[in-house]
Amino acid sequence: MTRGEGCGDAILTDILRTVDELNGLKDVDAILEAILLEARKLTGADAGTIFVVRDGRLAFGYVNNDTLFPEGRDGSVSPEVYQSYTLPLDGTSLVGHVALTGQPLLIDDAYALSPDLPYRFNKSFDEQTGYRTRSLLTLPIKSIDGHLMGVMQLINARGPDGLPAPFAPSLAAYLPIFAQHAAAAIERGRMTRELVLRMVRMAELRDPSETGAHVQRVGAYAAEIYHSWALKRKVPLKTIKRQKDLLRIAAMLHDVGKVGVSDAILKKPERLTGDEFATMQWHTVYGARLFDTSLGDLDELCRDIALRHHERWAGGGYPGQIDDRGEDPPDGVRLGEALTGEAIPLAARITALADVYDALSSRRTYKNPWPEDRVLDLIRRESGRHFDPEVVEAFFAIQDIIRAIRARYPDPMD
């Protein structure tokens, strides 16, 4: 995989193909994952990390490593993806030094650095994991206007024989072009995420339970459950990536329709009466109407999820068969016969599980958080009743990732 000297044109062609790939993605996490994967393909690196600038520090944005987490190669995630870890933005670390100077840095052996250098290689990751870092290519990710967005570190180049080798010096000249496109993609992904979070904050003004953390978790759970489901179904990796990216965003918006429900019901600190709950059920329809003027895949998915995330696999959910595109206020309009099984869109079946898992695990004005074993018991019992059994199975297959997500997006109160 490693490119030798004199292969500049081949690298440029690869970079252009990669830029196309990045431009097809919407969510910032999916973009970071793709950037790292593509940079490793371009350079033959065994491992890599992206740090992003956040609140004046360098935050671990994405990591993958073929040796330690070999599944990273086929695009599956490891729980490490969701781990939080930050470095100060100063010149003492290698990554910090590159951030400050804005220049790429090529190192053949991380353990043979002169002690006179202002920065040192941090061995703690190697010591904790038993991994042995040798060659390093560390480069800044800067926006077109020169603004620092992050740092990418590529680790352990491999020669054509698959054995460790230094990075080709020509890469230091070509990769900044790639990094600039990467910066543009990250900026675009952040704008999308920001737009979604803005819609969520609007809903949050009304419903205190719809916090930013709750929607981030539901989005991440849904994306990872889908990934697990799709690997089992042998869905092509390209499709998985595209769908996972859209699903993460759409699942975050599952409850935006709550903005259409009155405060008296939404903020009631007790259990709802039958009538109140009947009104509350309309949040599904209100949400779907927000995405009515469907222009593309994402709107379609947002609509499916908003409308169908309270349907139940064996029936008995809501809103069921209904003319949800009508202009009239729904007062007096009855909800229809519930959908069942695969008539419920897959994305909604997945989001249903993600939403209930998160609602039960969290504090609500009307309930305390449940302990994990009680939550998992309920989900197991409801397999084939409330939930699609295959979705439940996909969920149980990735409990380590689910827990890592919960730890990454804690509720501000708890």
Alpha-carbon dihedral angle through residues 132, 83, 380, 353, given to the nearest 10 degrees? -130
Between CA 162 and CA 2 the distance in angstroms is 9
Quick check: 255 binds Fe ion (CB under 5 A)? yes
Contact 277, 310 (CB under 8 A): no
Nearest to ligand C2E of 193, 310 (CB atom): 310
Q: Closest approach of Cβ 289 to Fe ion, in Å?
A: 15
Nearest to ligand C2E of 53, 378 (CB atom): 378
The residues facing 138 across adjacent strands are: 105, 153
Nearest to Fe ion of 33, 224 (CB atom): 224
Nearest to ligand SIN of 54, 403 (CB atom): 54
CA angle 264, 269, 275 (to 5 degrees): 50
Between CA 275 and CA 295 the distance in angstroms is 35
Contacts with ligand C2E, residue ranges (CB under 6 A):
209, 268, 271-272, 280, 310, 355-356, 359-360, 364-367
Between CA 173 and CA 192 the distance in angstroms is 31
Question: Which partner, ligand SIN, Fe ion, ligand C2E, none, binds residue 28 by CB below 5 to 8 Å per kind?
Answer: ligand SIN
HSE (side-chain half, CA atoms, 13 Å) at 350? 28
- Count the site residues for Fe ion by CB under 5 A: 2
Query: What's the length of the chain?
Result: 414
Residue indicated by tokens 């920065």: 119
Q: Which stretch binds Fe ion (CB under 5 A): 154-162, 189-197, 253-261, 382-390?
A: 253-261
Question: Which partner, ligand SIN, ligand C2E, Fe ion, none, binds residue 280 by CB below 5 to 8 Å per kind?
Answer: ligand C2E
Tokens of residue 79, six digits: 């729980």
State the sign of the Cα–Cα–Cα–Cα dihedral 264, 316, 389, 237.
negative
Q: Closest approach of Cβ 209 to Fe ion, in Å?
A: 7
Quick check: 311 binds Fe ion (CB under 5 A)? no
Nearest to ligand C2E of 41, 367 (CB atom): 367
Buried-exposed string 195-232: b where 16+ CB fall within 10 A, e elsewhere: ebeebbeebbeebebbbebbbbbbbbbbbbbbbbbbbe
Q: Which stretch binds Fe ion (CB under 5 A): 41-49, 162-170, 182-190, 247-255?
A: 247-255
Between CA 377 and CA 384 the distance in angstroms is 14
Nearest to ligand SIN of 144, 343 (CB atom): 144
Q: Closest approach of Cβ 359 to ligand C2E, in Å?
A: 3
3-state secondary structure of 282: coil
Nearest to ligand SIN of 190, 268 (CB atom): 190
Contacts with ligand SIN, residue ranges (CB under 6 A):
28-29, 52, 54, 61, 190, 193
Interface with Fe ion (CB under 5 A), residue from 224, 355, 382, 388: 355
State the sign of the Cα–Cα–Cα–Cα dihedral 312, 316, 320, 321.
positive
Q: Closest approach of Cβ 253 to ligand C2E, in Å?
A: 13
Between CA 396 and CA 382 the distance in angstroms is 13
Active centre residues (catalytic)? 258
Q: Closest approach of Cβ 263 to ligand C2E, in Å?
A: 11
Q: Closest approach of Cβ 334 to ligand C2E, in Å?
A: 17
Q: Closest approach of Cβ 364 to ligand C2E, in Å?
A: 5
Neighbours of 296 (CB within 10 A): 8
| Binding region for Fe ion (CB under 5 A) | 255, 355
